[in-house]
Amino acid sequence: MTFIMSIMLPFIIILFLLLLVLGVVSYTHLENVFGIFIPYLALAIFLMGFLYRILSWAKSPVPFRITTVCGQEKSLDWIKANRLESPFTTLDVIKRLALEVLLFRSLFRNTNTELNEGPKLIHWSAKWLWLAGLTFHWSFFIILTRHLRFFTEPVPFAIQFIDKLDNLFEIGVPALYLTDALIVAAITHLFLRRVLVPKIRYVSLPADYFPLFLLFCIIGSGMFMRHIYKVDLIKVKELALSLISFRPALPEGIGVLFYVHLFFVCLLIAYFPFSKLMHLGGVFLSPTRNLANNNRSKRHINPWNYPVKVHTYEEYEDEFREKMKAAEIPVDKE
């Protein structure tokens, strides 16, 4: 697939959906569909799809420990083992996986290979992807947590605290959230690297650009309605609370931009189980990460093994003894 196709296809889809939701909410009275029906539908798709993906992964046997390690395996007592890089017990695995999930430790080791003038081949440490990735994921997580203020009544102290910490510098009114600024910077980096770096542009597909554009729309509409084109937050919270208490009631006149935001969020969570975004669950089920490297001390039997029908030499001799004797082949038993 060419670059133009890869980037234009998701762009056109997103643009079409944006115009669709803007048009429908502005010119018809289908707010119920976008405010109540689609959120429930998206959530149902997300839950079912997520469970399905995890359970289908859980059905794949992992017969042999294929841990990727970069440290000394536990061996004889006098050889110092690196339990974090080559985990031996479940606790070691939990520690390593926690660092992987929370800090993207393996991505931190990312290297880049470059052919410079000379010609000189250079391998060097490349941390930008790690930095942008980590910033993006943590910002996203904090933004999600912050949104709980619309779903909880009264708002728990912890949520208010996170909110307060996030607009610590009180830039403007309403204050600019630090995570908003960070996520825009991070996702711009993640997008530009796909477009500008030829090697990455070559391997980028519509499935890579689509979630990026979707996130741009979600972040953009969210920030736009906080800072520029306001919506009625009280009504937004009323809707959110009514949805999660399963007594949906749609307040009038929230503002069209809210429906754009909500629709793209619904699209994201409905798309989630069928896309590469499933690495949320997948990271915990990666056999190279979640297994203890104990092949040498513990026997792992392949669960695929079926009882093999064998024909032993004794049975073979019993079957052909007379013929063997006739051909003067020595036999074990007379």
Partner 1 sequence: MYDTGKIITGLIVFLCLITFPLWYDAFTGKAATKPEPKIITKEKQCVEATPYMRDSHMKLLIQWRDRVVREKMYSYKGSDGKNYTMSLTKTCLNCHSNKQQFCDQCHNYVGVTPTCWNCHIIPEEKS
Per CB under 8 A, residues contacting partner 1 are: 47, 51, 54-55, 58-62, 148-156, 159-160, 163-164, 170, 172-174, 230-234, 237-238, 241-242, 244-245, 247, 281, 284-285, 303
Give the residue with the Cβ less far from partner 1, 23 or 156. 156
Give the residue with the Cβ less far from partner 1, 280 or 331. 280
CB of 203 to partner 1, least distance (A): 30
Q: CA 138, CA 130: separation in Å to the nearest integer?
A: 12
CB of 31 to partner 1, least distance (A): 18
Q: CA 328, CA 30: separation in Å to the nearest integer?
A: 93
CB of 313 to partner 1, least distance (A): 36
Span between the terminal Cα atoms of the chain, in Å: 72
CB of 243 to partner 1, least distance (A): 10
212 and 200 Cβ atoms separated by less than 8 Å = no
Q: CA 16, CA 30: separation in Å to the nearest integer?
A: 18
Give the residue with the Cβ less far from partner 1, 54 or 84. 54
| Three-state DSSP state, 3 | helix
Name residues whose C-beta falls within 8 Å of residue 7's C-beta, 6 or more positions apart in sequence.
195, 204, 206, 209
Give the residue with the Cβ less far from partner 1, 105 or 226. 226
> Which DSSP state fits 116?
E
Please tell me the total number of residues recorded for the chain in this structure: 334
CB of 308 to partner 1, least distance (A): 22
Give the residue with the Cβ less far from partner 1, 5 or 51. 51
CB of 42 to partner 1, least distance (A): 13
Give the residue with the Cβ less far from partner 1, 42 or 132. 42
70 and 56 Cβ atoms separated by less than 8 Å = no
Tell me how many degrees the CA angle 147-250-261 measures, rounded to the nearest 5: 40
